Amino acid sequence: MFYIHHTACISPQQTFDNINIEQLHDAVNNKLLAIEPAPQGIPPGILRRMGRAIRMGLTSAMSILQKISAVDGIIIGTSKGGMEDCIKFLNQIMDYEEGMLTPANFVQSTPNATAGQLGLLTKNKCYNITHVHRGLAFENAVLDAAMQVKDHPGSNYLVGSVEEISDYNYNIEWLGGWYKNEEVSNKNLYNYNSNGSIAGEGAAMFLVNDVVENAIAKLNVVKLFHTRDENLIKTEFLQLIEKFGEPDLFIIGESGDIRDNKYYEACELVIDDQTPVARYKHMAGEYPTSSAMATWLACHLLNSSSIPQHILKRGNVADKNIRNIFIYNTYKGKQHGFLVISKK
């Protein structure tokens, strides 16, 4: 599909500057808040008006865009990017009776604000689009990027995702039973036999094209679909194995929500017992586009000499040459996505 040349990830762990994923930062009140680095390349006058989601998205993206002359398109996936600013704007409508409203909150309240701001900051007038498909927003952005790369050989595209924890959305999801009622530790997230997970947020960006030279990884395929049938998941997974062989590492989106375990178990049953299985949501928390963080993790592990023990669910990776990684994630047990990433 395409080659990945640069990556950037802002998450609740040390994944941006001086990357260290051996150390695991703790959740607070069942929330894993992203560690925001000092923004670079963003004018202070613009920065101080930005909401949290846009700051994360722009900071991660600008760290890549500063390394190259230009990109031919900006493709972002998000489910609820800018929700906090949206609620602030709606509250102002009520408080000021639709009078003197702050335009900044309105401008940044839409999901496409990150892609739009990136276009304005870099004076990029090329393809600019945001995919808003809940738990498959990032996978749709990846699919879009793959089509653009195929149609425009030699072009560079920035593809990624951004998501924030807003108080409003957290309360809605908690009332819906998607977050745990009891306070839990992310270090023991998978040991709680209950419904729900913990909230997460973050931004991950990738520079992609069709050029193999100097690439750090290759994204071979993305599959996305809706179902409640774990047997369909197994069938789709088997088709990937038939095409690409057994994975050297299988990264799953297990979140501590026991309602989703059957989907991950269906996949684990069809791979070799010796195939290592890794998890990442104790690092990132649960949010609709968390598969972007898993994609960053896969790229990092393909180019790293070690794999943290805390991410492994089973298997041994000592002295194992990791060249082929499968990623599987489900969001709320209805939206499902597979990604296959390998060394170039």
Query: 160, 182, 209 — which closes off a domain?
Result: 209
Shared-domain flag, residues 131 and 196 = yes
Q: Is residue 214 part of a domain?
A: no
Q: How far is it, in rounded angstroms, from Cα 162 to Cα 290?
A: 9
Q: 275: Cβ–Cβ under 8 A, 6 or more apart, which residues?
A: 246, 247, 248, 249, 250, 315
pTM over 0.85? The answer is: yes
Shared-domain flag, residues 77 and 178 = yes
Confidence at residue 344, expressed as pLDDT on a 0 to 100 scale: 78
Place of tokens 């790293």: 304
pLDDT mean over 307-327: 91
Shared-domain flag, residues 203 and 250 = no
Shared-domain flag, residues 262 and 198 = no
Query: 209, 242, 260 — which closes off a domain?
Result: 209
pLDDT at 12 over 90: yes
Q: How far is it, in rounded angstroms, from Cα 168 to Cα 339?
A: 31
Q: Is residue 89 part of a domain?
A: yes
Q: What interhelical angle do 230-244 and 261-268 show, nearest 10?
A: 40
26-62: per-residue pLDDT in tens? 999 999 999 999 887 788 877 877 888 889 999 999 9
Confidence at residue 233, expressed as pLDDT on a 0 to 100 scale: 97
Shared-domain flag, residues 171 and 100 = yes
Closest CA to 81 of 339, 342, 292: 292
User: How many alpha carbons lie under 13 Å from residue 253 in its C-beta half-sphere?
Assistant: 29
pLDDT mean over 172-197: 95
Task: Give φ, ψ of 37 to 5 degrees.
Answer: -80, 170
User: How many alpha carbons lie under 13 Å from residue 57 in its C-beta half-sphere?
Assistant: 33
Q: Which domain holds residue 139?
A: 2-209
Closest CA to 150 of 320, 314, 3, 321: 3
In this prediction, residue 75 has a pLDDT band, given cuts at 50, 70 and 90, of: very high
Q: Any idea what the CATH number is for the domain that residue 248 is in?
A: 3.40.47.10
pLDDT at 316 over 70: yes
Shared-domain flag, residues 95 and 200 = yes
- Residue 245: CB atoms within 10 A of its CB come to 10
Shared-domain flag, residues 70 and 42 = yes
Shared-domain flag, residues 117 and 24 = yes
Shared-domain flag, residues 228 and 204 = no
Q: Is residue 251 part of a domain?
A: yes
Number of domains, the chain? 2
Query: 191, 209, 227 — which closes off a domain?
Result: 209
Confidence at residue 43, expressed as pLDDT on a 0 to 100 scale: 82
User: How many alpha carbons lie under 13 Å from residue 156 in its C-beta half-sphere?
Assistant: 16
192-242: per-residue pLDDT in tens? 999 999 999 999 999 999 999 999 999 999 999 999 999 999 999 999 999
More confident residue, 100 or 244: 244
Shared-domain flag, residues 173 and 270 = no
